[in-house]
Chain A
Amino acid sequence: MAKMHTKKLFIKALNKKFGKDFDLAGTRTEYKRLGPEQSARKREYMETANRLAGKRGISFYNPYVHCGGIPLGQRQLVPYKLSGTEYVVEGDDLHFVNNPAMQQMWDDIRRTVIVGLDMAHEVLEKRLGKEVTPETINNYLEILNHAMPGAAVVQEHMCETNPGLVDDCNVRIFTGDDALADEIDDQYVIDINRLFPADQAEQLKASIGKTTWQAIHIPTIVSRTCDGGTASRWSAMQLCMTFIDAYNMCAGEAAVADLAYAAKHAALLQMADMLPARRARGPNSPGGLSFGFMADMVQTSRTKPQDPVAVSLNVVAAGSMLYDQIWLGSYMSGGVGFTQYATAAYTNDVLDDFSYYGVDYAVDKYGGFAKAPQTIEVAKEIATEATLYGMEQYETFPTLLEDHFGGSQRASVLAACSGISAAIATGNSQIGLAGWYLSMLLHKEGWGRLGFFGYDLQDQCGPTNVFSYQSDEGSPLELRGANYPNYAMNVGHQGEYAGISSAAHAGRMDAFATNPLIKVCFANPALVFDFADIRLCFGKGGAREFRAAGDRALVMPAV
């Protein structure tokens, strides 16, 4: 029989949350009903609201309007430990409005496009008779890093952006061609050999080949003022003007139209697809972001490749925040509930404990990551074991159950650990997905409850889409996304699906899950958010230690 690995990683967090002296196994407690005053953050909010009341001239934040004067805080309001870190923050600090790191993560995705250089170079050489050399590329990149933030080239007397507002904007290139990369000024290169472990670098360079790509990050302040669709438009104009400047072209001849198409659009990779009219969102909106792309944006796979669970859990954190808190919680719905759901997946080391247990179980039994047969039998065995272990922890530690007080939280965590474990064990995301759905059914069977209404559809009907190859529903998990038919409405799923997509490839020690260009682009050290350690960044944001871009203070009166 497989060895048992019950590390109980969550106990440290429970002690930090509930205080050291409580009885871990106690099923009864005294509820002191101390109200919002027990929380430093709620007190701060009340003080702030009082201070602003006169200025606003209209009523404002007042927790005592809740339910006939009975405010939240009738139970103990507890803080949250960011999993895998030492950061302990208030729950409020994990609402994306209060957390600049969370905002910046989405800003950094939304303001990014990847644009190929090769076709533009071909047009320059064949249509316009220009010579393209490493020297001209270096010159082009210098001009581009002047122009892309919003500065003028070619034209005279233009209105430009203040560099102090747009200093997060940059363009670097990457290629699978080591010889070319060596010729480019280091400041303009995302160095695959330096940033990735050797085996991953070889995989990435082989996949990218001798093609060359620009990782373009327009200013945060631009994408916050406009939207995700702006990234390609803003970059397109600056790309074209830069080519005209760098290669001394005529600004009006017809051949420039060929270049413009080649340089702006022909080799453009958006981070997310545009959505159908009923959702009415352009490209680079979270609803069009595939789980595989999300998995590739997160960089833990290159910094901790030996720990596929950590890789997967950072993807879960990024996805839970983006898909649940920002996409479903604000684009698609509204209010405050979504943060509470999503945090369960990346706080208090609960999903960590359950996932390490499931993966250790599989490694003991099958001899390593991605060693288990890719069969439905394996999904059944691992998902059942992981789910039953997780349920047992909730039953054994009452404050753990109290912490994940909603069924949707528990369902997401139990199914995620099952899916991640099965995916890492087999190196196959579809087997992971099969494990996810089995976990949902087991959970419902054991406790006679699951999540909210939507789980009836998505999770109880879900097993039928795992092995389907019908159009619309038959995509591999990596190519599904937030707008996949049954996935479009349910919190607590999409980040975890991204995590399962990642887990399969992390288990196989792949350099990327879906797209090597995305993986390399987000290795850019000049990004404001650190995609290698998602949860640490969220903790910094919650602790008010994170400096985001896009600040307007420079051009406003001091507060």
Chain B
Amino acid sequence: MAYTPQYYPGSTSVGINRRKHMSGNLEKLRDIPEADIVLTMGHRKPGQDYPSTHPPLKEMGEPDCPVRQVVEPTPGAAAGDRVRYSQFADSYYFSPSIPYWRSYWGSINCRGCDPGTLSGRQIIEARERDIESYTKKQVDSEMNDVALSSMRGCTVHGHSLRLEENGMMFDMLARTEMGKDGNVYQVKDQVGIPLDKKLNLGKPMSEAEAKKRTTIFRVDGVPIGGKTGARKYDEAVEALHHMWELRSKWGYRPE
């Protein structure tokens, strides 16, 4: 029997978008050149060989291991790439993705990756050529908006701050800037080192589009629990209550 994962409850746009992110069935909105992704990540120069931490697996004479026979290595693991990262900050103000959903997306859709979830940033680590591929998927897709999301390796402060007057998420290191032509340009890499040239990331989403694509519940968008004085729980809350209650009761084990 073919199994279709349900991923997430709820019939609101937020519930639907959360399911889309988890399924990996995402709309591609832009096509940022691979070289620009590599420059922004800042781990190697475009065209440079991938530094390795071990020889290609085929040359290593791996032990006779059933797990290794079942699990095909990712391209980066097969080649012996080092593990590198990309990390994103997403604004509270209707950014398309949010940290846990980037992690769920990574865990479900990206082989050989290690997501880490915080409040103001979300990191995915993987072998270098793998993480470059995963990063491009994120940057190109509806998971990202060039004003409300940005790649930030450090000094990520901004996700919860008011937006700049031009609608950009605050960035202490000003790694991106709004051009006079309405396009957003990447001017520093993810740890804030200036780039030799500005990279055109394209135009930001309109507010309406960001609200349509977002995965965050908000009282001024899709509320998770109605409003104060007029509560109406989203299906996600009902499911959560059920899970919390079982988890609490499970801890009481009188056997």
Interface residues of A (CB under 8 A from B): 1, 4, 6, 26-31, 67-68, 70, 72, 74-75, 376, 380, 384-385, 388-389, 391-392, 395-396, 398-399, 401-402, 404-408, 410-411, 434, 437-438, 441-442, 444-453, 456, 463-470
Contacts and interface: CB of A to CB of B under 8 A. Distances in A.
Contacts of B215: 448
B173 A70 contact: yes
Contacts of B227: 392
A444 B224 CA distance: 11
A476 B176 CA distance: 51
Interface string B191-217: 011000000000000000000000111
Listed from nearest, the 7 A-B pairs whose CB atoms lie closest are: A407-B119, A448-B98, A464-B251, A467-B252, A388-B225, A463-B248, A463-B247
B63 interface: no
Nearest to B194: A68
Given A448-B98, A467-B249, A467-B251, A402 B162 contact: yes
A464 to B, nearest CB: 3
Given A67-B155, A75-B161, A399-B162, A448 B248 contact: no
B1 interface: no
A380 B241 contact: yes
20 contacts: A4-B228, A27-B163, A28-B165, A67-B173, A70-B173, A72-B172, A75-B172, A396-B219, A401-B160, A405-B161, A446-B216, A446-B217, A448-B99, A449-B117, A449-B118, A451-B118, A452-B118, A456-B117, A466-B251, A468-B253
Contacts of B250: 464
A162 to B, nearest CB: 49
B93 interface: yes
B225 A384 contact: yes
Contact of A446 (B116, B119, B157, B224): B224
B101 interface: yes
A376 B216 CA distance: 28
Give the most central of B98, B159, B220, B224: most A CB within 10 Å. B224
A402 B237 contact: no
A293 B161 CA distance: 38
B170 A467 contact: no
Contacts of B192: 67-68, 70
A408 B119 CA distance: 7
B117 A453 contact: yes
Contacts of B251: 463-468
Interface residues of B, number: 58
Contacts of B164: 28-31
A448 B165 contact: no
Interface of B: 92-93, 98-101, 116-120, 154-155, 157, 159-165, 167, 170, 172-174, 192-193, 215-220, 223-229, 231, 233, 236-237, 240-241, 243-245, 247-254
Chain A contact residues: over half helix, strand or loop, or mixed?
Answer: helix
Contacts of B240: 441-442, 445
Contacts of B161: 75, 401-402, 405
Contacts of A1: 229
A448 B216 contact: yes
Contacts of A4: 228-229
B198 to A, nearest CB: 18
A474 to B, nearest CB: 9
Nearest to B171: A74
A16 B160 CA distance: 20
Nearest to B99: A449
B243 A441 contact: yes
B162 A384 contact: no
B168 to A, nearest CB: 10
Contacts of A31: 164, 170
A173 B228 CA distance: 51
Contacts of A466: 248, 251
Contact of A28 (B98, B162, B216): B162
B138 to A, nearest CB: 15
Contacts of B228: 4, 6, 388-389, 392
A70 B172 contact: yes
B160 A437 contact: no
A500 to B, nearest CB: 15
A466 B250 CA distance: 10
A407 B118 contact: yes
